Amino acid sequence: MDPRFVYDSFVQLLAGVPLTLELTAFAFSLGLLLAVLIALMQISGLRILRIPAGAYVFAIRGTPLLVQIFLIYYGLGQFRPTLQSLGLWQFFREAYWCGILALSLNSAAYGSEVLRGGLQSVSKREIEAGRACGMSGLLLYRRIILPLALRQSLPAYGNELILMVKATSLVSIITMMEVTGIAARLISETYRPVEVFIAAGTIYLIINFLLTRAVSMLDWWLTPHLRGMSTIGEAEQAK
């Protein structure tokens, strides 16, 4: 193994980091919005909302992300005349938008399960306190239920963010030149997969380390009451 070649590969692979982060940011943000909607549908008392949401989550979680990417990018080309008549072909002909759509839909299914658990963990006392203040309906969800659910789901949803970063490597299959796409090109030129993939893995490791630290800091900032409880607990143990 040539350390110099690993370093050179690392430098060349850095060119794919902006696209990797861009795909992650767009797909994660869109997936979060869809996840909130799907989670609310799942906990609703209406079967007309709950059944389609449950079926969607089951289908997405039960099939590989790679298959979903192929179905969107290659499969929808079979319906090109219909998409053209609807004005959607310009969207689905681009690998970039197909990749974002596939990643978003996949993230929404997994994220909705995390958020559903967060929504169901909001205590009735906090809901009743909001109602006692005159809140109801959408206002109660916006001011009490959703903020608490998102805060309680943050550690688990941080894992979804990490999975999203790693999932972006799959869009290299549809000609996207992010980190893994550039790595595949370097391997085809040099026939040295070990060094190239070590460099690529190092880049993903650095990105995910920074993201986990950011999520941890955000969780720490959003839970000042827990910091106080931990301080009290440490003081009692010291006694």
The whole-number pLDDT of residue 69 equals: 96
Give CA–CA dist 203/91, Å, rounded: 30
Q: Would the pLDDT of 234 be above 60?
A: no
Who's near 170: CB < 8 A, 6+ residues apart? Answer: 65, 66, 69, 180
Give the least confident one: 40-49, 65-74, 159-168, 197-206: 40-49
Closest to 23 measured CA to CA, from 158, 211, 179: 179
Closest to 97 measured CA to CA, from 176, 17, 179: 176
Q: Would the pLDDT of 58 be above 80?
A: yes
For 173, the token pair is: 């299959």
Give CA–CA dist 128/15, Å, rounded: 52
- As a whole number, mean pLDDT of residues 17-21 equals 96
Nearest-Å Rg of the Cα atoms of the chain is: 22
Q: Are 91 and 66 in contact (CB under 8 A)?
A: no
Q: For residue 218, give the 3-state DSSP assignment.
A: helix
Average pLDDT of the chain to the nearest whole number:
89
Neighbours of 202 (CB within 10 A): 14
pLDDT over 90 percentage in the chain: 67
For 69, the token pair is: 């990417």
